[in-house]
Chains A and B, each alone.
Chain A
Amino acid sequence: MIEETGNWEYSDKLSPTLLGRLYDTYFPRLYNYLSYRTTNREEAEDLTELVFERVIAKYHTFDPKRGAFESWIFTIARNALLNHKRQQFRHPESELTEWFEGEEELSPDRLFLKQEELHRLRHYLTRLNERERELIALRYGAELSQRRVGELLGMNEATVAVALSRAVRRLRVMFEGEEQPKETTPRKGRPKKAGKD
């Protein structure tokens, strides 16, 4: 788990050095979070870029006394995502075949398997309802603590814990192909698919 403070010190002016540190600290988690919440790499990349552009534009409004930077930047990410979803309403998204970036040290076979797993993960994430998907994305994609997830979603920590365990179970069951999910909210514009046998 990444430390909440990150490896940077707050300054009221966003210098290139500070921006570089913030970028290095938060880029992987932001990208991962947005990958959990979107259906293809291009969306995740565009949104990641948008979030950092807003960080540059809005940094002067960040007040460390009012909350952690981590909460602030993921609030920006969630708002950007929300706006994106609204805009997408008229243009249903399509799932693109893509090749995820993998670790270079993995063998080709292992890399292929991992990419296949990530592809399946993203597929089944789209079949969770919005709340469950958001919980999992914030906890595992953004690597936020349950307390921080609760702050962002307006839930207490205990509720986050049980909701999260429930969401993980539903995802796990779909992922392992044990049974059909009872509640599905298929995304607009995509034919409803049966779960994996």
Chain B
Amino acid sequence: MKLWNRFLAKSNQETTLDQNPAERERDARFSAWLEEEGTFRASSKFQSDLRTRLLVQATTSPKSERSPSFSWFRLIPAGVGLVALLAFALILVSTLSSPASVELTQVAGNPALGTTPDLNGDKLNSVYDQATEDYLNLDETTTTLGFAPSLPQYLPPGYQVENVALTYGEPPTLPNRVRPPVISPIENVLPQPHGLQFQLTSLKAAESNHVQVYQLLTPATVEDSPHFNIQGAQRFTQQAVQGAVGYFIQGTRWRVAYSASVGAKMATPHPSPMLRNRMMPPKIKGTIGRMGMATMPSKLKASAKIAFSQNQANGSVANTFFIDFQPREDGKSARSLVWAKNGVLTVLVGGDSVTDDELHRIAESFKPISRHS
């Protein structure tokens, strides 16, 4: 290294000695150009996607690499290693020959075996908004949404939560996301609602192994919340979820008809926290595909139309909202579970490999919605 330094110093001194001022001036200009203009910029899409992936990675599965250069296995004498190997083989054989039903019983339905996200249940103290790439204060988020957000306590084994985002107004065209329904204002009375959406992703990377969730404070009072029904679905069955009315829906397009009286008790998200929470329309993000996570073509497309209103005797206005859903953007049929509780409409769209039982179990594991007063 010293030789290299000496060689460079000598040769460069010789080089620089014969430089004329014009050459030096041009070098300086080129150097300045390199500093100012010679900058390669990554695409903003790549930069934001990578940021999201890394944050998810750091949040859910922080790695702790072992040094490959040192391993205690190397200290084991060869004979001991052979005996250990034989013992391990014996254990493996005896395990495989045991009744399969025991293992299945142990695996199935054990929440502890699923990937437990850090943002789960009681640990939830902020919401990561992918749209604004920031963690939002839970209190402010609750005020903004009109209800306290919660994540399911149960996840199918191998699943994790990702892509948590707040939405407002026009649904974003985000890949791998639930598209929130749009509810048009009624006679300029109802504001566009905020929603909380997130996705449960299987790390097994099978296509369509995502469960997408969207929660929305419906423009209704608590008393009105059970009054909705499903229309236009290919198949649906009523299903109680958290003691409320819900529906299993199999279909490509369907509609929630939601009746509510809009009057003094109208549920409106608090407008004041919008600025603090930076509730701008979400930016369009790219797919999550670099960590072996499958990208799913399905989205929940939804749009809503206000169908009619009717004056009531008490001065309030009865309205029926038609909220149209298209669970998968590719037009394929999808299995969904929809229910309303305390004026919050929750839509769970199951992946191909998620059974009805698991979908129902996820739904039941949500904390009961508590509305913000």
> Which positions in A face B, CB cutoff 8 Å?
14-17, 19-20, 23-24, 27-28, 31-32, 35-36, 41, 44-45, 48-49, 52-53, 56-58, 60, 100-103, 114, 117-118, 121-122, 136, 140-141, 143, 154-156, 158-159, 162-163, 165-166, 168-169, 171-172, 175-176
Contact = CB atoms under 8 A, between A and B. Distances in A.
Nearest to A99: B43
B130 to A, nearest CB: 12
B34 A19 contact: no
A32 B39 contact: yes
A166 B15 contact: yes
A55 B30 CA distance: 34
Contacts of B30: 168, 171-172, 175-176
A182 to B, nearest CB: 11
Contact of B27 (A41, A56, A163, A172): A172
B42 A48 contact: yes
Contacts of B39: 28, 32
Contact of B8 (A16, A58, A162): A162
Given A36-B40, A49-B50, A155-B4, 11 more contacts: A31-B41, A44-B42, A48-B42, A103-B41, A114-B37, A122-B40, A155-B5, A155-B8, A166-B15, A169-B27, A171-B30
Contacts of B65: 57-58
A57 B64 contact: yes
B8 A163 contact: yes
Contacts of A141: 40
Interface stretch (B52-60, B93-101, B220-228, B276-284): B52-60
A19 B62 CA distance: 12
B314 interface: no
A105 to B, nearest CB: 13
Q: State the majority secondary structure of interface residues on B.
A: helix
Given A49-B50, A159-B8, A163-B12, A121 B38 contact: yes
A23 B54 contact: yes
Contacts of B58: 14-16, 19, 56
Interface in B13-36: 13, 15-16, 23, 26-27, 30-31, 34-35
B41 A17 contact: no
Contact of A154 (B1, B42, B44, B63): B1
Contact of A172 (B12, B26, B64): B26
Contact of B41 (A14, A16, A101, A121): A101
B47 interface: yes
B1 A155 contact: yes
Nearest to B60: A16
Interface of B: 1, 4-5, 8-9, 11-13, 15-16, 23, 26-27, 30-31, 34-35, 37-44, 46-47, 50-51, 53-55, 57-59, 62-65, 128, 133, 135, 290
A5 B31 CA distance: 24
B51 A23 contact: yes
A56 B51 CA distance: 12
B57 A136 contact: no
Given A14-B58, A162-B12, A165-B16, A32 B40 contact: yes
Contacts of B9: 158-159, 162
Contacts of A60: 64
Nearest to A159: B5
A140 B34 contact: yes
Contacts of A24: 51
A100 B38 CA distance: 12
Among B41, B55, B59, the one with the most A-chain Cβ atoms within 10 Å of its Cβ is: B41
B43 A48 contact: no
Contacts of A117: 37-38
Contact of A165 (B5, B27, B43, B59): B27
B289 to A, nearest CB: 12
Nearest to A122: B40
Contact of A16 (B15, B16, B55): B55
Contacts of A41: 42
Contact of B63 (A48, A56, A163, A175): A56
Given A16-B55, A31-B40, A100-B40, A168 B34 contact: yes
A191 B62 CA distance: 44
16 contacts: A17-B135, A28-B39, A45-B42, A48-B50, A52-B50, A56-B63, A118-B38, A121-B38, A155-B1, A162-B12, A162-B13, A162-B16, A165-B16, A168-B31, A171-B30, A172-B30
Shortest beta-carbon contacts, A-B, top 9: A162-B12, A35-B40, A172-B30, A57-B63, A140-B34, A159-B5, A101-B41, A57-B65, A31-B42
